[in-house]
Amino acid sequence: MRPSKYRSARHARGFTLAEILTVAVLFGMLLTTIAAVIPAVMRAPAQMQSQVDEVNSAALALYKVQRDARQSDVNGVFNCTTLPIVACSQQVGPPTQTQAVAIAGNDSSQFFLTGGQNSGQASWTGYTVYWLAPSSSGIGMDLMRSFEPVVSNILNGVPQFKTADATWAVTTALLISSPDVAAGDVRKLLVGVTPANGIVALQMSAGVNRGDQTELTMYGNTYARN
């Protein structure tokens, strides 16, 4: 095949200075753009993973709170303040924001009383306490968890849940120097109960508290079964 006139002519004369400069400028702009975009793109997955991990961690914590509430009695769930003083009360009605929640229950796998007239009933051995505390990283709040033994007596088949016991459990939990962190970056915890139908309403807001302020609110209403 014969080479075209155009290709022959171009090869013969080479590139002009203007052509080379234009290409160089365009290529420079392209590289600059890529250099600016790539770090952000490369950071994005890690950032997304971080957000997902933190929200997922909060979702797991909500799962734990739900589970403790499900195995509790609706009258054994208390909203508590941690500051300026510890004070617990039952929040009857829609969930309201709380600094801590105390849930009556049992931290072992053996949950049934095995003797006496109360055999077969739930064995109330203490309160699981969840509370919000400043994160060790200094950014945002973490949700802490601890089980504090306080025996609730059963009188005529009815467990006796007392606000004083719940308050004591929360007070004791707050004294733990390195409590278990149930979830990081939890912004809000809301709890409420409806004794008439045994529902414990739970709500938790969580998310990354750095810069982008991503927040996700999760709902976890459950029946207290005991």
Tell me how far apart the alpha carbons of residues 54 and 186 are, in angstroms, rounded to a whole number.
8
Give the separation between CA 184 and CA 215, rounded to whole angstroms.
13
Out of 36, 46, 83, 85, the only residue in the binding site for other proteins (CB under 8 A) is 46
Nearer to other proteins, 46 or 175 (CB): 46
Both tokens of 90, joined, read 């039952």
Interface with other proteins, residue 225, by CB under 8 A: yes
Binding mask 60-99 for other proteins (x = CB under 8 A): x--x---x--xx----------------------------
What totals of helices (H) and strands (E) does the chain contain, helices first?
Answer: 3, 13
Task: For residue 82, give the H/E element and its range.
Answer: none
Q: What would the x/- binding string for other proteins be over residues 170 to 189, using CB under 8 A?
A: --------------------
Which distant-in-sequence residues (6+ apart) come within 8 Å of 59 by Cβ?
206, 218
The footprint of other proteins (CB under 8 A) covers 27, 34, 38, 41-42, 44-46, 48-49, 52-53, 56, 59-60, 63, 67, 70-71, 106, 109-115, 119-122, 196-198, 225-226
